[in-house]
């Protein structure tokens, strides 16, 4: 019985999943030659944003064993195994780091509209349910709507919020928030930053200043820098991940907006090409619409009927 995360992944990626699964059934039923069948599978994986390098690798490995396939299940089993091999296998890399004896600071970055603020609220909710104490810092001091969103979530979750006045130095706000989180004995400080296009170098420098301020505060530890990435962005998402990682040395990715329009294949590319672990996936608007990422469940949902 499909429940929880697997059920939600299945719903979120229904477009990609049904295309791949139905294709295999149809081609096998029609007796299509192995070469043509595998070319079609590769084409659909490309459409699902899996990326040409991974697609070619998977296709070549499938071709090597094509003669041993006895039906739909054997094809899907091998395909599942090959896709899973492209994920990082150490489950520990998907855990949020929590240093002992001080507040653990998680800095969230990403472009405008990626879903940073709502992802912060969902992760705050996740941590609260795990019995952790949480504080939020609003370091987007240029957009009034960002502060209003954080105020809404901090009230809803009943957690403290540190924010600066309009136009304040974001790095100073982050520094003060670290001091406050330490004074209150918080387990986690979640820092919201202004949306920054990865192509704007001077804006990326501001993110570095925030990172530096947290590092120098002395009473809290910067344990994570998470990129919030819209799962629908496709190739542009890979470019964003590369640029943010180059500038800030990311520790992981939160994939937002994994609803029915997301193709899902970008997840493999982030892990394979950028060597960044996907730590969370967000599925909807509710605070509970967030799940720890599990590669096996992801691949299962991608290929399930």
pLDDT tens figures, 151-180 = 999 999 999 999 888 888 999 999 999 999
d(CA 58, CA 159) in angstroms, rounded, equals 46
Q: Reduced to 3 states, what is the DSSP secondary structure of residue 282?
A: strand
Backbone angles phi, psi at 289, to 5 degrees: -85, 55
**pLDDT for res 214:** 94
d(CA 33, CA 35) in angstroms, rounded, equals 6
Q: How close are the terminal C-alpha atoms of the chain, in Å?
A: 13
Residues 6+ apart with CB under 8 A from 255: 229, 231, 262, 266, 267, 278, 280, 281, 282, 293
* CB burial readout 4-29, b (16+ within 10 A) else e: ebbebbbbbbeebbebbbebbeebbe
- The DSSP output letter for 160 is -
Residues 6+ apart with CB under 8 A from 49: 234, 235, 263, 264, 265, 266, 269
**pLDDT for res 1:** 35
**pLDDT for res 233:** 81
The string of pLDDT tens digits covering residues 267-281 is: 888 988 889 999 998
* CB burial readout 46-71, b (16+ within 10 A) else e: bebbbbeebbeebbeebeeeeeebee
Inter-residue contact 9 to 298 (CB < 8 Å) = yes
Inter-residue contact 55 to 46 (CB < 8 Å) = yes
Strands 161-163 and 290-292 come out as unpaired
The string of pLDDT tens digits covering residues 175-221 is: 999 999 999 999 999 999 987 665 667 778 889 999 999 999 988 99
The string of pLDDT tens digits covering residues 107-163 is: 999 998 888 999 999 999 999 999 999 999 999 888 777 788 899 999 999 999 998
Does 52 score more than 70 pLDDT?
Answer: yes
Percentage of the chain lying above the pLDDT 90 cut: 36
Order of strands, edge to edge, in the sheet holding 252-256?
A: 161-163, 134-138, 188-192, 103-109, 220-230, 252-256, 278-282, 290-292
Provide mean pLDDT across the span 217-241. 89
Backbone angles phi, psi at 161, to 5 degrees: -130, 130
Average pLDDT of the chain is 84
Q: Reduced to 3 states, what is the DSSP secondary structure of residue 116?
A: helix
d(CA 10, CA 187) in angstroms, rounded, equals 33
Does 259 score more than 90 pLDDT?
Answer: no
Binning pLDDT at 50, 70 and 90, where does residue 31 land?
A: low
Does 18 score more than 70 pLDDT?
Answer: no
**pLDDT for res 278:** 93
**pLDDT for res 2:** 40
**pLDDT for res 14:** 62
Q: Tokens for 63?
A: 């071709």
Domains and CATH numbers, the chain: 4-84 (1.20.120.140), 98-250 (3.40.50.300)
């Amino acid at each position: 019985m499909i429940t929880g995360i697997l059920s939600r992944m299945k719903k979120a990626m229904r477009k990609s999943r049904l295309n791949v699964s139905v294709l295999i059934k149809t081609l096998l039923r029609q007796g299509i030659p192995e070469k043509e069948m595998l070319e079609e599978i590769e084409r659909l994986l490309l459409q699902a944003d899996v990326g040409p390098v991974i697609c070619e690798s998977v296709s070549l490995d499938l071709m090597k064993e094509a003669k041993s396939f006895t039906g739909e299940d054997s094809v899907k089993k091998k395909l599942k195994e090959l896709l899973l091999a492209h994920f990082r296998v150490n489950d520990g890399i998907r855990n949020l780091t929590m240093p002992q004896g001080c507040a653990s600071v998680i800095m969230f970055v990403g472009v405008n509209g990626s879903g940073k603020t709502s992802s912060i609220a969902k992760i705050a909710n996740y941590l609260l349910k795990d019995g952790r104490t949480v504080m939020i810092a609003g370091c987007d001091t240029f957009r009034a709507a960002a502060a209003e969103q954080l105020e809404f979530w901090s009230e809803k979750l009943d957690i403290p919020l540190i924010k600066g006045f309009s136009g304040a130095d974001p790095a100073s706000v982050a520094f003060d928030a670290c001091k406050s989180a330490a004074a209150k004995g918080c387990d986690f400080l979640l820092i919201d930053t202004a949306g920054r296009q990865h192509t704007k170098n001077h804006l990326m420098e501001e993110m570095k200043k925030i990172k530096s301020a947290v590092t120098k505060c002395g009473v809290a530890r910067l344990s994570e820098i998470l990129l919030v990435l819209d799962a629908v962005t496709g190739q542009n998402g890979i470019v964003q991940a590369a640029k943010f990682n180059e500038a800030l040395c990311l520790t992981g990715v939160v994939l937002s907006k994994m609803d029915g329009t997301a193709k899902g294949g970008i997840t493999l590319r982030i892990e394979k090409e950028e060597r960044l672990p996907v730590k969370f996936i967000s599925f909807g608007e509710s605070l509970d619409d967030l799940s720890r990422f599990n590669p096996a469940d992801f691949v299962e949902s991608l290929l399930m009927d």
